[in-house]
Structure 1
Amino acid sequence: MTWVQVTAPTRRSALIASAVGRVFAARAAAERREIDVPEMDSGEIWQTDDGAVTVWAMPRAGSVVLADVDGTAVSWPQLDALAAVAGWSGSWEFSSFEGEPRMAALATEAAARRVATKMRVDVAGVPAPAGIRLVPMTDADFETYRAVADEDYAQERFASGSESTIEASRRVAAEQMAEYLPDGPRTAGQRLWTVRDEAGEGAGILWVGFDDHAGFIYDISLDEDRRGQGMGTQTLRAAAAETASAGLAVLALNVFGSNEGARRLYAREGYRETEILWSAPIAG
């Protein structure tokens, strides 16, 4: 078996369109909602010489996004053979979706590292919070939050393998925080609170963004001395209550692969894993 790159424009575009359709159908099924399929024309298409397997890949510096694999059973030795032919090195980056076993099987076969997990919950089934209250962040609160949040986020990204150096993770963290919160706590579509206990003492922070489809937890953190007291669970429930108040039915979040404790907490609270992002080394 040999690999051949498809470069004829019409055929390449048709195969990419098919791959995009499969990927977004899998995401829509996992998230249990309709998702518009975008028009895309990026990446490379490779096929085995017998046409049995088609791969849609997006090479970049140090890694290759394995966006879609279609056809009969494919193994990592075959994919690594493709990488050798194409001249790729570094790592494979790919996603597996709930209910779609092929990429999950590849992750198991390669003993791939979990980079991040996307999770969602229907807020109608979440119990009401108790024992805490959310207070909108003031400008002073926000400055205190930003003083530590950028570095915490950078450290999480670096630990998960999102970037190869802590300097790169710090740069990405600062860029994303500036992009998501250009107007600080008054940024449209974003809500930031300090979490307070029944006595009014500060205990942590919560940041939720809202769009037309769902709420999304960008950050949730309890002070070190307030952890293990059930306040994290109650803060999660408060986020669900705020999402319901915004007229939305679903609350979503991402968990870095290194944060197993948080993933277990979210699972106990009814969050489903809809997509897992994986990384595996390219053999060479």
Structure 2
Amino acid sequence: MITLNLMNSTEFKEYLNSAIKSYADNNVQSGNWSEQESFSKATEQYAQLLPDGEKTANNKLFTIRSDGQEVGMIWLALKPNNKGFIYDIKIREDYRGRGFGKQAMEDIEKVGREFGIKSIGLHVFANNQIARSLYEKLGYKETSIVMAKEI
């Protein structure tokens, strides 16, 4: 059993520091960005998406807890036309493989319904097979695919 609690400012600062690094690293691994530019690009994108931090309008950043322990986080953005978008979900390494990610994804759908959301989208890097498998099991379908080739 998990709970989703809105992040406080301390939790948000901790999240933001790790999220920027992780997003930069994922974009380098995926071949989207060079290592030299990755940190500044990731920082810029987070600043655009969350200009007011955890209090940014139409963004709900939750700490995922199990028995009072922080096990991860999930970020749901409320978009026009009754749509939502999960910008991030992370389960701490020492809590992975216990179903917390699946449960958080199911719980965020309930939260979304409370806000009138009719569909939720997300992005997953192609090399993240574990996440892709989870999303497919939860009923997510590919809606577009970006392909690249090194030449």
TM-score (norm 1): 0.52
> Displacement, 1:167?
2.1
- 1:159 lines up with 2:24 in the alignment: no
- 1:177 lines up with 2:46 in the alignment: yes
Match of 1:132 in 2: 2
Work out which of the residue numbers 90, 110, 116 in structure 2 matches 1:247.
Answer: 116
One-letter amino acid of the structure 2 residue matched with residue 201 of structure 1: Q
Aligned residue runs from structure 1 range 195-210, under 5 A: 195-197=64-66, 199-210=67-78
> Displacement, 1:146?
1.3
Match of 2:131 in 1: 262
In 2, the alpha carbon distance for the partners of 1:168 and 1:242 equals 36
Match of 1:148 in 2: 18
One-letter amino acid of the structure 2 residue matched with residue 239 of structure 1: I
Aligned residue runs from structure 1 range 1-284, under 5 A: 131-163=1-33, 165-197=34-66, 199-213=67-81, 214-282=83-151
Please, what is the CA RMSD of the aligned residues? 1.0
One-letter amino acid of the structure 1 residue matched with residue 71 of structure 2: A
In 2, the alpha carbon distance for the partners of 1:272 and 1:194 equals 26
Task: Find runs of 4+ consecutive structure 1 residues off by over 6 angstroms.
Answer: none
In 1, the alpha carbon distance for the partners of 2:63 and 2:150 equals 41
> Displacement, 1:232?
0.5
Identity of matched residues, %: 37
For structure 1, which runs of at least 5 residues remain unmatched after alignment?
1-130
SS in 1 for 2:139: coil
Question: Deviation digits for residues 53-107 of structure 1, max 9, x if unmatched?
Answer: xxxxxxxxxxxxxxxxxxxxxxxxxxxxxxxxxxxxxxxxxxxxxxxxxxxxxxx
In 2, the alpha carbon distance for the partners of 1:281 and 1:152 equals 23
For structure 2, which runs of at least 5 residues remain unmatched after alignment?
none
> Displacement, 1:190?
0.5
One-letter amino acid of the structure 2 residue matched with residue 156 of structure 1: N
The structure carrying a bigger strand percent of its residues is 1
TM-score (norm 2): 0.96
In 2, the alpha carbon distance for the partners of 1:235 and 1:254 equals 16
Count residues in correspondence. Answer: 150
In 2, the alpha carbon distance for the partners of 1:248 and 1:223 equals 27
Structure with higher RCO (Cα < 8 A, 6+ apart): 1
> Displacement, 1:242?
1.3
SS in 2 for 1:277: coil
Give the structure with higher Rg (CA): 1
Question: Deviation digits for residues 186-245 of structure 1, max 9, x if unmatched?
Answer: 000111010001x11110011110111311000100011100000010011111111111
Match of 1:46 in 2: none
